[in-house]
Structure formats: structure tokens, C-alpha cells
Amino acid sequence: MASNTENYEFHWNQIESGAPEKEPARQYYFMETAKGLLKAKFEQDCASGEALERYGEEKLEEMKREGYCGTCCVTTFGCQMNAKDSEKLLGILESIGYQPVETEDADLVLYNTCTVRENANKRLYGRLGQAGARKKKNPGMLIGLCGCMMQEPQVVEKIRTSYPFVDLIFGTHNIFVLAELVSQCLIRQNVKKHRTVIDVWDGTDQIVEDLPADRKYPFKSGVNIMFGCNNFCSYCIVPYVRGRERSREPEEILKEIRRLAEDGVVEVMLLGQNVNSYGKTLKNPMTFAELLREVEQIPGIRRIRFMTSHPKDLSDELIQVMAESKKICRHFHLPLQSGSSRILEKMNRHYTKEQFISLARRLKEAVPGISLTTDIIVGFPGETEEDFEETLDVVRQVEFDSAFTFIYSKRTGTPAASMEDQVPEDVVKERFDLLLKEVQEISARVCGRDEGTVQEVLAEEVDSHGPGWITGRLSNNTLVHFKGDPSMIGHFFQVYLEESKGFYYMGRLA
């Protein structure tokens, strides 16, 4: 009699031998494969009564009616790049036959991880413990991990040994092979041969287009224009886990945005670790400003946003395009990190305090009413009181609309983690509180500059204030709450901004 391992290898070899070599055809083949495997399992569970016990009669009938054979939950940690990746992961899982749900009691739970700060790792381990308890009650559950944290070998080893119930681990470079990996997991489950499927790539120059995605919003969407980062800021783990910069071909980006516009999308967010360096790796180089001009020509798209931008690559050409555009939103996220030129050099940021202030002034002069937001780190190794005062000085001069402020977190694997002169915790906390107070006071004043005017607002969601209220967003990214109903979501309205509440407005339809 064949062993479970032999059974698995026999079934997998049979399936893989029929797979196309080229992408995305290979992945569509595995979507159909996984769909068949999942359907067979679902029908077996329905026949045994297990499905009725797990889902209940009403839910089971709904799944049958809508053609689903299981449920899935993708939990996202971290940045908007991860959020966009999760849309792609959900799209693939839906194609296989999984119904997206909010609860982690699903048949397949996938954690898309972040590793920018080490406490993110601790949060994940806590969630994994809970997932393990749920899997004991539902042994057929699949648990997967992907994203930046999985690019760290020591993390993968810890999960393999301490959380052996995890079924699937993959990284940032091969999310497009999810259907292939799920197929392996379902076969292992079928032949009762559990072993964690681990497929983490060190890097890739491959960008696979035309895979399904499940968008969170029908009227707006993120669009990846590039992947990876070449900057190697001394405190940041991202280049090590996301890989080197790779730009998508402009034709593919524009094709995706045209398709989104045809599907009712009116706002796009162009995404990259550093969008300002877009196009440098292309066979026929193209600047980010040139790409923006092309996106502007697409009918149906009324708003264009982008992030993240590195100050060292912010060009006069980009500022000019923003100044001339009627579609590019009046919002620019420009990470400062520190106001001290000495600390900026230690951070490997490649600009000075004076250069940053000059950029901010040029943006404000070119685009009247622009909202400038930023990131600031307090307590970087070697930061003195004078360095911190330099940061406060930039905050006062530039007058950011808002700032994401962070206490420096030592990140293993980065040059900054081994730097001397780590700042005492109590000193960092005191500086952080001072910075936060300064930022909030300036923000409360600056953000109210449009009070008493009529502005265009994109209605985005039902407001948490209560029934009859809608939350929308200005071009400059400020939120507006006004009376309305769910039918307004995804449409533009002229709204009179009655009162500024510091970080948002209360308004009424004009």
C-alpha cells in the first residue's frame, strides 16, 4: 500500500504535469485545479452532514446558491501596498470558490504580514495562537501566512517549529502563485499528509499581469506601478523584504486603469515604495511625471492620488505636472523622518533640512491649497536635543496638515539597529509628546483653511456618526461628514464646509 507521502507525490505530479509553463496561463490552470479539489471536498462534506454542522442551514444554502464551496478571510497588516496585495489574494481565492468573510473562523485564513516594526511580529504570533485553537475545532481549516514578515528566514523557521499547524507560507515576490500553493494544500489534506507548504523566493524580476482582484471599493482603487525599493534607509527593512525596484510597463498600468474606469472607478491611487523613481528600470525609461500625464488622459478617472514619495527624487517636472493638472489631488505625502541634516545623513536619506524645506515651499507655491503630510521618527540613534529642535523647526516652518509620528523602533537586520547612542526611552517619550502637541496644534489651524467654502467631495462610506450621515473626502484628503444616504456613495457632490473640527469638517450639500 502506498504511503501518504507517495499518494501526495503521485497526485501532485499528475496535476503539475499538465500545467502550462508561462504566466498567467499557469495560474489560471491552478485556479481551475484548486476549484475542482475544493468542490469535491465541499460535496463530500455536504453528503456527510459536516457542512451543515459547520455553516448552518441558511449559510449553506446561500453558498450553494452563489456557487461557493468554502469561506476565506484575508487579514492584512501594514501599508497600502499590502492592502493592494490582499485584494489580489482575495481575487484568486474567489476564483477558486472561496467566499470572502470578515471572521477568522473561515475555512481558509490568510495573514498578509508586515515587518516594518518588530511589535508587528508579536501581534501576528498572538493571532496565530488563536487560529491554532480554532483549527482544533475545525481540522479541515487551512492557515496561511504571506507578506514581508515571511521574507525573514528566522521567522519562517520559528513558525515551522513552533506553529506546525500552519499549512502555507510564502513571501512578497510570488503572491501570484497562490492558486498553485492552495492546490498543494488541498491535495495534502485529501491524502491526510500534513506538512507546511513553504515557498519563499529571495527575489524576482517577474511581474505577472491580468490576475483577478477583489476590490474593497467599487468607485476607487489602488494600482501598483512598481514594486520594491532601492533606497536602503538605515532604519528600514523594506528593501530586504520587498526586493529591488521593478517598474511595471506603462502600457500595462494604463490598460488596468482604463479597465477600472470602464468598471465605474473614478479615483485611482498609484502605489509604489517610491513612486518618484518610477520608470528607471524600464527598457524604455519613463518618468513618473510622464506617467501621470498619460493617466490624466483616461476618460472617467476624475481623481489621481499617489504614494509614497521620496524627497530626494521629487522633480521640478512632477511639481509642474501637479500645478497644471485638474485631476491630480491637492495632497502630497512627503516623509521628513527628521529635521536634522546630521540625523538625515545617518538615516541615509540623501537630502538636508534646507533641501526639504525648499521642496515644501515649491509645492505650496505651485499648488495653492495643497495639503502636505509627512512621517517623522523621534529618538533615532544619536539624536540630541539640538537635533530634535531642528525637527520641531521644520514642523513649524512647513506647517504640515498632519504627520504620522513614530518612536524609533530598533529593527533587527537594519544598520540602525547596531548603531551606538541609542536614546533613552524616557527622553524619547518626552520628545515624542512635545512633537505630537506641536503637530496637532498646527494641524488644527491649517486644516480649517477651507471652512466656509464650497468644495467637491467624493462620498465614500456611511458615517459612524449615525443613520443619515455620509463620510466623504476632499481632493486634499481631508474628511467631510454631511447628511446623505448610501445611494450617494461613489459620487461627487458640492458640499458647503460649515465647521472645521480640526482634522475633519462638518458640512451640508450646497
Q: What is the pLDDT of residues 424-440, one digit of tens each?
A: 999 999 999 999 999 99
Beta partners for 462?
A: 470
pLDDT band at 465 (very low <50, low <70, confident <90, very high): confident
Residue whose C-alpha cell is 513558525: 159
pLDDT band at 30 (very low <50, low <70, confident <90, very high): very high
Helix/strand/coil for 279: coil
Give the phi and the psi of residue 72 in degrees, each rounded to 5: -140, 155
- Consult the annotation and say whether 79 binds a ligand: yes
Question: Among 183, 197, 210, which residue's Cα sits nearest to residue 88?
Answer: 210
What is the structure's pLDDT at 2?
Answer: 54
What is the structure's pLDDT at 364?
Answer: 97
What is the distance, to the nearest Å, from the Cα of residue 112 to the centroid of all Cα atoms in its chain? 9
CA distance 98 to 456: 39
Residue whose C-alpha cell is 511639481: 319
For 220-261, what is each residue's pLDDT tens digit? Answer: 999 999 999 999 999 999 999 999 999 999 999 999 999 999
199 near 177, Cβ under 8 Å?
A: yes
Burial of 119 (0-12, 13-18, 19+ CB in 10 A): exposed
CA distance 39 to 68: 8
- Consult the annotation and say whether 185 binds a ligand: no
CA distance 148 to 120: 11
**Structure letter (DSSP) for residue 248:** P
Would the pLDDT of 446 be above 60? yes
267 near 327, Cβ under 8 Å?
A: no
What is the structure's pLDDT at 1?
Answer: 47
457 near 472, Cβ under 8 Å?
A: yes
**Structure letter (DSSP) for residue 269:** E
Q: Containing H/E element for 469?
A: strand 469-473
- Consult the annotation and say whether 146 binds a ligand: no
Ramachandran assignment for 192, one of left (phi > 0), alpha (psi -120 to 50 degrees), beta (any other):
left
What is the structure's pLDDT at 206?
Answer: 83
Pairing of strands 454-462, 492-500: antiparallel
CA distance 284 to 270: 20
338 near 344, Cβ under 8 Å?
A: yes
Helix/strand/coil for 403: strand
Would the pLDDT of 172 be above 90? yes
Sign of the CA dihedral with 41 first, then 43, 45, and 48 last: negative
Q: Mean pLDDT check: name the lowest of 53-67, 156-170, 187-201, 477-491.
A: 187-201
- Consult the annotation and say whether 229 binds a ligand: yes
Pairing of strands 371-378, 402-407: parallel
Question: Among 281, 252, 242, which residue's Cα sits nearest to residue 79?
Answer: 242
CA distance 435 to 441: 10
Give the phi and the psi of residue 112 in degrees, each rounded to 5: -95, 105
Question: Among 72, 158, 73, which residue's Cα sits nearest to residue 115?
Answer: 158
Helix/strand/coil for 420: coil
What is the structure's pLDDT at 123?
Answer: 85
Beta partners for 473?
A: 458, 479
pLDDT band at 466 (very low <50, low <70, confident <90, very high): confident
Would the pLDDT of 103 be above 50? yes
Residues of the chain with pLDDT > 70, as a percent, come to: 99
What is the structure's pLDDT at 191?
Answer: 80
Average pLDDT over the chain, rounded to an integer = 94
CA distance 70 to 296: 41
CA distance 424 to 300: 53
Give me the mean pLDDT over the 351-367 stretch: 98
What is the structure's pLDDT at 3?
Answer: 65
Give me the mean pLDDT over the 433-461 stretch: 95
Give me the mean pLDDT over the 364-373 stretch: 96
- One-letter identity of residue 277: S
For 78-92, what is each residue's pLDDT tens digit? Answer: 888 899 999 999 999
Prediction pTM value: 0.89
148 near 113, Cβ under 8 Å?
A: yes
What is the distance, to the nearest Å, from the Cα of residue 448 to the centroid of all Cα atoms in its chain? 29
CA distance 295 to 260: 12
CA distance 227 to 73: 25
Beta partners for 331?
A: 371
Q: Residues 6 or more apart from 463 whose CB is under 8 A from it?
A: 469, 470, 471, 481
Would the pLDDT of 484 be above 60? yes
- Consult the annotation and say whether 114 binds a ligand: yes
- One-letter identity of residue 9: E
The string of DSSP letters for 326-352 reads SSB-SEEE---B-S-HHHHHHTT----
**Structure letter (DSSP) for residue 487:** G
Question: Among 95, 88, 91, which residue's Cα sits nearest to residue 69?
Answer: 95
Question: Which residue would you say has higher pLDDT here, 117 or 54?
Answer: 54
